[in-house]
């Protein structure tokens, strides 16, 4: 078991693609850290650099404090679980699991005992004599896990190990990986593009985009205090809705104008974020979480945005309602590509909310959107960075969302 560290890691492929542009990641001994981001963000390259399957163009990889940049994968004493499992099709399950032990010259009796133990932990003892092709996806996944666990390596590296499973199995294996990791306390780096997986599994989560780590924090803090608009709209299901507004000062009060609504910013929000005052008279991006607004009949309340219901998703215990509102949409660089189905509102601004079942909303309904100003989040309209809060943890690695936004 060992801590893992990537510092100032850069990787440029021969074809000129810059996969990593100075990545700093520190995984504590025994921690499960999730690397999450859209495809092409560099998360898999970072993982492969730790494994030694990819050489960094510059920067340092340390495992257990030791610089392993010049070591072959075999000498780094890590185990990797691949997206398609990479089980050796010509070997039985038992031989697959024992392969790493044999390669390292472990005695036969020890190998057989270890394989039996691991098979029991993973509940695959009945499958040991089968070939991989005779296994279901979930069983293959377990064998791949077994192959990693059996060697008792210094770290587990997992590259989207659940993405080939169906939804139900994915949830089950999610829990199992977390359980096993907690039992073994083996340092783990887990790569996924699925933010739900990241939130539910990671002790900490590093959000990557465009070859850089944008924010690395606990899931709760990522959700509550996204460092940038990219993180805000990547995390959460549905993610935060972003609207372009303007801060105005009137009679000593700061108000946020969004479309035809004007919201007074409460004193506690101002106290938490004194930098807001500097944006008076300027445009800001306002972020509204999925629980940060209510729906009402049109004209029912003053200070509401008007909108039309675009989509209603019944999830059983709750309902997701997507509303196209009359308000400005931030630039694509900040807000990402326009919502699917084309811009329904005048400028394509869409808000997504989570409501208790029984909310009366039908597609096409005109509604009033009442935003809770106490839950507003604010971002710079050009860089997408969150406006600084008081006592912002300055040590957290925060990088600018790259221009161009989500890829």
| Residues engaged in binding another protein (CB under 8 A) | 51-53, 72-74, 76, 78-80, 82, 84, 86, 88-91, 99-100, 103-104, 147, 151, 157
Shortest distance (Å) from residue 34 CB to another protein: 20
Phi, then psi, of 187 in degrees rounded to 5: -55, 130
Shortest distance (Å) from residue 76 CB to another protein: 8
Pairing of strands 253-258, 377-379: unpaired
Shortest distance (Å) from residue 120 CB to another protein: 21
Pairing of strands 261-264, 283-288: unpaired
Shortest distance (Å) from residue 197 CB to another protein: 20
Cis peptide before 339 (omega within 30 of 0): no
| Residue with smaller CB distance to another protein, 89 or 252 | 89
| Residue with smaller CB distance to another protein, 101 or 198 | 101
DSSP sequence for 68-95: -TTS-GGGGTEEEE-TT----TTS-HHH
| Residue with smaller CB distance to another protein, 96 or 228 | 96
Residue 354: strand pairing partners: 320
* Cβ atoms of residues 150 and 101 within 8 Å: yes
| Residue with smaller CB distance to another protein, 87 or 198 | 87
Shortest distance (Å) from residue 6 CB to another protein: 17
DSSP sequence for 246-291: EEEEETTEEEEEETTEEEEPPHHHHHH-GGGGGGTTSEEEEEE-TT
Shortest distance (Å) from residue 77 CB to another protein: 8
Residue indicated by tokens 């807001």? 276
| Residue with smaller CB distance to another protein, 2 or 261 | 2
| Residue with smaller CB distance to another protein, 82 or 221 | 82
Residue 268: Cβ-neighbour burial (10 angstroms; 0-12, 13-18, 19+): exposed
């Amino acid at each position: 078991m060992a801590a893992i560290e990537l510092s100032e890691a850069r990787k440029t492929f021969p074809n000129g693609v810059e996969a990593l542009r100075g990545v700093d990641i520190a995984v504590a001994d025994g921690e499960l850290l999730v690397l999450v981001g859209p495809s092409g963000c560099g998360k898999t390259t970072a993982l492969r650099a730790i494994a030694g399957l990819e050489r960094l163009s510059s920067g340092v990889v340390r495992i257990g404090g030791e610089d392993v940049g010049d070591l072959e994968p075999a000498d780094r004493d890590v185990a990797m679980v691949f997206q398609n499992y990479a089980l050796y099709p010509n070997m039985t399950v038992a031989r697959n699991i024992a392969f790493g032990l044999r390669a390292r010259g472990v005695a036969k009796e020890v190998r057989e005992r270890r394989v039996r133990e691991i098979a029991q932990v993973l509940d695959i003892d009945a499958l040991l004599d089968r070939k991989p092709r005779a296994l279901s996806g979930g069983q293959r996944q377990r064998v791949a896990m077994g192959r990693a666990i059996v060697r008792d390596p210094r770290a587990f590296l997992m590259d989207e190990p659940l993405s080939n499973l169906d939804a139900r199995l994915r949830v089950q294996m999610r829990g199992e990986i977390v359980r096993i990791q907690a039992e073994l306390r083996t340092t783990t780096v887990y790569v996924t593009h699925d933010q739900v997986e990241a939130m539910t599994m990671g002790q900490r989560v590093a959000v990557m985009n465009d070859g850089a780590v944008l924010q690395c924090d606990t899931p709760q803090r990522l959700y509550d205090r996204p460092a940038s608009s990219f993180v805000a709209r990547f995390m959460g299901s549905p993610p935060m809705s972003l609207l372009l507004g303007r801060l105005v000062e009137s009679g000593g009060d700061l108000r946020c104008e969004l479309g035809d609504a004007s919201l007074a910013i409460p004193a506690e929000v101002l106290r938490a974020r004194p930098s807001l005052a500097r944006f008076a008279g300027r445009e800001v991006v306002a972020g509204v979480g999925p629980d940060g607004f209510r729906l009402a009949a049109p004209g029912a309340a003053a200070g509401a945005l008007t909108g039309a219901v675009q989509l209603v998703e019944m999830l059983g215990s709750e309902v997701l309602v997507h509303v196209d509102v009359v308000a400005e949409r931030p630039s694509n660089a900040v807000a990402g590509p326009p919502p699917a189905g084309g811009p329904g509102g005048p400028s394509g601004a869409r808000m997504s909310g989570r409501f208790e079942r029984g909310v009366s909303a039908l597609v096409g309904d005109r509604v009033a959107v009442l935003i809770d100003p106490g839950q507003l989040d604010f971002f710079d309209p050009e860089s997408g960075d969150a406006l600084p809060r008081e006592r912002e943890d300055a040590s957290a690695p925060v990088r600018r969302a790259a221009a161009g936004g989500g890829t």
